[in-house]
Amino acid sequence: MSLLLAYRRWWCFFFMAVLTLPTLGLVLPDLPGPVRLMTTPQERWWVHATERLDPFINGRYGFRGLIMAGNATYLRAMKSTRERPVLLGEGGQMFFTGEQTLEQSLGRLFRIKPMTELADTLSRLDALLKARGAKLVVSSPPNAATVLPEKLPAWARGQMTHPTELDFLTEQMEKRGIAYVDLRPILIAAKAQGPVFRRTDTHWNQRSSVLAFNAMMAAAGRPDLEIALDSAIGPLQDAPSGDLARYLGEANPTGDKDYGEIWPRLLERVASRFAWMHHSACKFEWPAVERFKPDLVIYMVTERSLPCRGQPIGMPPG
């Protein structure tokens, strides 16, 4: 069966002719028209021709505003964070997923070579400090996903396996006889009395920081430097900050750190001098330690930053 009846085929030629008429005006003589405001094209007119047209099209083409609003509503309903390094868990708990943090906590990422280098570096550091009459204590603030697995989505909990890099560090420190504090059981037990991590932030809260401080002082052989939790922090308060919330555009964070903000206030009570230096993924400066001549060195690196990426600067070989 033909697509068009015989008598309708002629209409195709008629409509094609009508559509072609404006084009013929480009080559056929034309009658004089009204005087134009610009008789000759502006020089290089094509350079600026779209300066106003492009923004107009970008802002209105294809119901852009409606589609974007609908997409945002859908993503919120599905608890999607798009391509931002944030995972939404149970009860609105946010988890940082950058730097392969989630895979590390789940045991899906195990970098054996840099983790072995970390253990070797700490052994050398421990030996050098002991020779100078100083003590080394090692610990690692765990990732939120490590301490709060019950708040992870079900698909993430189903992928958990062992050993993790933190398991490896714990085992190595015990084997090598280095003073070490595993903060995981401490923080997990503390969940029964209140939150241990900020809901919208990568880092733990001040309560966890004080608990870690006390555990480190006990491991250093100085339980007299511990501080009562009630005297260190007040009642819980809502805080409009959180680096993960900022990723999602939901807050204006004022900042929060693992222990950098509160530990100086705890140390200044009892220490004559104290100093802080970044670990730099094992590339810290040993000469600075020698100049300071500390009695106690705390090597405390967040779980996601544990693996070594180099060797300490100026440290004698083991």
For range 71-77, the mean pLDDT = 69
Is residue 299 scored above 60 in pLDDT? Answer: yes
Is residue 240 scored above 70 in pLDDT? Answer: no
Angle between helices 112-131 and 165-175 (to 10 degrees): 30
For range 238-246, the mean pLDDT = 71
pLDDT class for 109, splitting at 50, 70, 90? very high
Q: Which residues contact 285 (CB under 8 A, 6 or more apart)?
A: 277, 312, 313, 314
For range 98-116, the mean pLDDT = 95
- What would the pLDDT profile of 197-210 be if each residue is shown by its tens digit? 988 888 898 899 99
Is residue 140 scored above 60 in pLDDT? Answer: yes
| The pLDDT of residue 302 | 94
The CA distance from 152 to 80, in Å, is: 14
pLDDT class for 246, splitting at 50, 70, 90? confident
pLDDT class for 310, splitting at 50, 70, 90? very high
**Farthest-apart Cα atoms in the chain, separation:** 107
End-to-end CA, the chain: 90
Using alpha carbons, select from 163, 185, 169 the residue that is nearest to residue 105: 163
Is residue 27 scored above 50 in pLDDT? Answer: yes
Report the DSSP beta bridge partners of residue 88.
94
DSSP secondary structure string for all residues of 159-200: T--S--HHHHHHHHHHHTT-EEE-HHHHHHHHGGGS--B-TT
Report the DSSP beta bridge partners of residue 138.
180, 299
Q: Alpha carbon 168 to chain centroid distance?
A: 23
Using alpha carbons, select from 90, 79, 77, 82 the residue that is nearest to residue 199: 90
247 close to 86: Cβ distance less than 8 angstroms: yes
Is residue 254 scored above 50 in pLDDT? Answer: no
For residues 214, 305, 258, 237, the Cα torsion angle rounded to the nearest 10 degrees is: -120
> What rounded mean pLDDT belongs to the chain?
82
For range 144-164, the mean pLDDT = 95
- What would the pLDDT profile of 217-233 be if each residue is shown by its tens digit? 999 999 998 988 888 77
Using alpha carbons, select from 168, 210, 160, 162 the residue that is nearest to residue 187: 210
For range 9-28, the mean pLDDT = 73
The CA distance from 93 to 199, in Å, is: 5
pTM over 0.75: no
Cα 124–126–127 angle (5° rounding)?
Answer: 65
pLDDT class for 13, splitting at 50, 70, 90? confident
| The pLDDT of residue 78 | 66
237 close to 195: Cβ distance less than 8 angstroms: no
Sign of the CA dihedral 87, 206, 305, 164? negative
- DSSP E strand stretches across 126-266: 135-139, 179-181
- DSSP E strand stretches across the chain: 86-88, 94-96, 135-139, 179-181, 296-300
